[in-house]
Amino acid sequence: MTGPILPVVVLDDAEQAVPLGVALRAGGINTVEITLRTAAGLDGIRRARQVDGLRVGAGSVLTPQHVDQVAEAGAQFVVCPGLSVAVVERARERGLDVLPGVATPSELMAAVALGLDEVKLFPAGLLGGPAYIEALSAPFPGMRFVPSGGVSQKTLPDYLGLASVRTVSGSWMVARNLLAEEDWAEVTALSAEAVTLARDLR
């Protein structure tokens, strides 16, 4: 991933992708994950690619067919809730970085077997948060974790304080109510606060 903060976006209106991307960049965030949870996701990815300096990925990627769709829409990386060998292989075939989700040591072993050195831990909050990552890091010292699910600005320092965490995934700065209200100033403000906090921790 690029940067310490990875916003997870659920778009209901693809036309919001560009102003959202501009607001994130103004707040110092240069990477975004636009999920396929809504019909606006694919078009949102296409539109977000128009924003200078913004690296755009696709989230909630579940199948190789999804990989093909998001690659054609211009996604630069894919994020999955779980670990699928078929999805990882297709992403590599399409030249896309891939961040699969894991929740157990067995899934981490499968990730290692695939040659991965960074995974999404999902749902991080329910699994045990920073303490769980610390426990997993002992037998998997070369693995980097991107916690996702239940991460907030309040818990951000706890995650980024871990040596095995370089990026956190969250949606508080791109909450659906902010998008519905098109409150781009607040998106920028929350993004800037998160980036500043992350930099101070480093």
Domains and CATH numbers, the chain: 5-201 (3.20.20.70)
- Told to judge if 120 belongs to the known catalytic residues of this protein, a careful annotator would answer yes
The one catalytic residue among 33, 72, 182, 186: 33
Tally of residues, the chain: 202
Listing from the earlier edge strand, what are the strands of the sheet with 101-102?
101-102, 118-121, 144-147
pLDDT tens digit sequence for 59-80: 999 999 999 999 999 999 999 9
CA neighbours closer than 13 Å in the CB half-sphere of residue 80: 27
The one catalytic residue among 120, 134, 181, 193: 120
With a pLDDT cut of 70, the percent of the chain lying above it is 100
Given pLDDT bands bounded at 50, 70 and 90, which one contains residue 164? very high
Q: Report the C-alpha gap between 114 and 72 in whole angstroms.
A: 24
Q: Other CB atoms closer than 10 Å to residue 28's CB: what's the count?
A: 18
pLDDT tens digit sequence for 7-34: 999 999 999 999 999 999 999 999 999 9
Kindly state the tokens that stand for 57: 């990925």
Q: What is the rounded end-to-end Cα distance, in angstroms, of the chain?
A: 16
